[in-house]
């Protein structure tokens, strides 16, 4: 665990406990969250998998008295370093503090002395004023995340589909292959930062790292820049990927495709691709969570006397639905297993809402039957209670 993790991650918040929580409280909270986010209970859910890793990491630290004490000591440093956001404490970013530019970089591991050495060696140096250059290898940069949108028909969203996505993102310049130098020339190592891309500035008794002013954080200086990218080594490119959209996606859902975003630099990992799903409405079926919805017209005799009716299912054979005697208008009946696919392979239900149709024209025989029905019900006033309540204060 790196010092940067200790500074930026609030393990107490991750586990939902206070800083004075006992070991029993920490263990109880961990077990509850581990069961909730365990990969076996959330198959294919990358967000739950990431959350499970965060919970496990927090428990590894807080369940160990020695590591917990070390964690509390590092986060209690004066000056507001643990927040790490611009404008708080001393007003610099922890990414700059640890020499990580852009979206990523890999933090090293080591014992207590290594972690504390990272922070005290870089912050509280005793060299006095001026600027000191840090040597070492150039850090890898994670590629940027990319977001796009895809519109699917109702059926393709339920069945799942592989769609081609045309993406435009920043990548290495194809003319100079990311070097930033004109063909036939090569960039040279920045003499100011010696290729690290950052330098440490001392301010009295402490210091912080910032991108090198000479090479702007690249670690290289280009004397004869590439005419395509003007020396940046980056260019906007277009590519097409085949993205698998899982069965059962809903309108408004966002899908994360790990590693399908913009390429990284200096061997860094690619960013992620986020696909926003838009689903076109169906002319017959609707959707409510994992259930499909359907409105079915029935006649007044069918609703009053009860009946067996056939109702359609989505891309399947019709099913027979039994209407109980005296079914009211608007009642919803359930057909199990005929809804949208779930991640665990099961399906939701089909919710059928009854729409009782009242005939607009009556023949003599029908009118006579309805008159007899009205006469049989004449002894009961359905609205008497309403009239009584309306007079009450």
pLDDT at 132 > cutoff 80: no
Q: In angstroms, what is the C-alpha Rg of the chain?
A: 33
* Section 13-38 average pLDDT: 90
* Section 299-316 average pLDDT: 92
pLDDT at 22 > cutoff 90: yes
pLDDT at 111 > cutoff 70: no
C-alpha dihedral (94, 100, 104, 105), degrees to nearest 10 = -120
Check residue 121 and give its pLDDT: 41
More confident residue, 257 or 381: 257
Which residue has tokens 């930033």? 180
At 191-218, the pLDDT tens digits run: 888 777 778 776 655 666 778 888 877 7
Give the CATH number of domain 3-91; options: 3.40.50.1820, 3.30.870.10, 2.60.120.10, 1.10.287.110. 1.10.287.110
pLDDT at 106 > cutoff 90: no
At 150-206, the pLDDT tens digits run: 999 999 999 999 999 888 777 777 778 777 888 888 888 888 887 777 787 766 556
d(CA 166, CA 146) in angstroms, rounded, equals: 11
pLDDT at 221 > cutoff 70: yes
Q: Write out the CATH class of domain 146-279.
A: mainly beta
pLDDT at 97 > cutoff 70: no
Check residue 169 and give its pLDDT: 72
Least confident range from 94-98, 189-193, 319-323, 370-374: namely 94-98
Give the CATH number of domain 286-376; options: 1.10.3210.10, 2.60.260.20, 3.30.70.270, 3.10.20.30. 2.60.260.20
More confident residue, 8 or 32: 32
Check residue 202 and give its pLDDT: 66
DSSP3 helix / strand / coil % (the chain, rounded to 5): 25, 25, 45
Tokens of 206: 């402490």
At 255-291, the pLDDT tens digits run: 999 988 887 776 788 889 999 999 999 999 999 999 9
Least confident range from 41-55, 228-242, 372-386: namely 372-386
pLDDT at 139 > cutoff 80: no
Residue 389 CB partners (closer than 8 Å, separation 6+) = none
Number of H helices and number of E strands within the chain? 11, 16
Which residue has tokens 């059926």? 155
At 222-244, the pLDDT tens digits run: 888 888 888 777 777 788 889 89
Residue 255 CB partners (closer than 8 Å, separation 6+) = 245, 246, 249, 274, 275, 277
d(CA 273, CA 167) in angstroms, rounded, equals: 10
User: Any idea where the domains of the chain sit in the sequence?
Assistant: 3-91, 146-279, 286-376
Check residue 269 and give its pLDDT: 87
Give SS3 for 99: coil
The chain-wide mean pLDDT, for the chain, equals 78
Counting residues of the chain whose pLDDT is more than 70, the rounded percentage is 78
Taken as a whole, the chain contains a residue count of: 393
- Residue of 256, 232, 236, 231 lying closest to 244 (CA atoms): 256
């Amino acid at each position: 665990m790196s010092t940067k993790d200790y500074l930026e991650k609030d393990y107490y918040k991750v586990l939902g406990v206070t800083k004075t929580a006992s070991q029993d409280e920490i263990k109880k909270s961990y077990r509850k969250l581990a069961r909730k986010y365990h990969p076996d209970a959330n198959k294919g859910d990358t967000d739950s998998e990431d959350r499970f890793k965060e919970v496990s990491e927090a428990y590894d630290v807080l369940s160990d008295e020695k590591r917990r004490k070390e964690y509390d000591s590092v986060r209690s440093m004066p000056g507001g370093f643990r927040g790490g956001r611009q404008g708080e404490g001393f007003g610099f970013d922890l990414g700059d503090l640890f020499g990580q530019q852009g979206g990523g970089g890999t933090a090293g591991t080591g014992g207590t002395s290594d972690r504390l050495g990272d922070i005290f060696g870089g912050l509280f140096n005793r060299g006095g004023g001026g600027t000191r250059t840090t040597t070492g290898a150039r850090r890898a940069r994670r590629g940027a995340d990319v977001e796009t949108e895809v519109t699917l028909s109702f059926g393709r969203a339920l069945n799942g589909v592989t769609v081609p996505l045309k993406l435009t993102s920043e990548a290495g310049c194809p003319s100079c292959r990311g070097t930033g130098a004109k063909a036939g020339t090569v960039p040279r190592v920045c003499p100011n930062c010696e290729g690290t891309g950052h330098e440490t500035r001392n301010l009295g008794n402490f210091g912080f790292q910032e991108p090198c002013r000479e090479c702007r954080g690249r670690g290289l200086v280009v004397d004869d820049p590439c005419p395509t990218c003007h020396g940046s080594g980056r260019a906007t490119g277009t590519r097409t990927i085949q993205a698998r959209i899982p069965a059962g996606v809903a309108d408004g859902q966002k899908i994360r495709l790990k590693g399908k975003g913009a390429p990284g630099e200096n061997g860094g990992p690619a960013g992620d691709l986020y696909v926003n799903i838009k689903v076109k409405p169906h002319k017959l079926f609707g959707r409510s969570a994992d259930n499909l919805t359907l409105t079915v017209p029935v006649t007044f005799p069918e609703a009053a006397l009860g009946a067996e009716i056939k109702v359609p299912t989505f891309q399947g054979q019709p099913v027979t639905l039994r209407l109980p005697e005296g079914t009211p208008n608007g009642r919803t009946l359930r057909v199990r297993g005929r809804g949208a696919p779930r991640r665990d392979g099961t399906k939701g239900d089909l919710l059928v809402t009854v729409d009782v149709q009242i005939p607009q024209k009556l023949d003599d025989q029908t009118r006579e039957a309805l008159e007899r029905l009205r006469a049989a019900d004449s002894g009961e006033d359905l609205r008497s209670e309403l009239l009584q309540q309306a007079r009450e204060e």
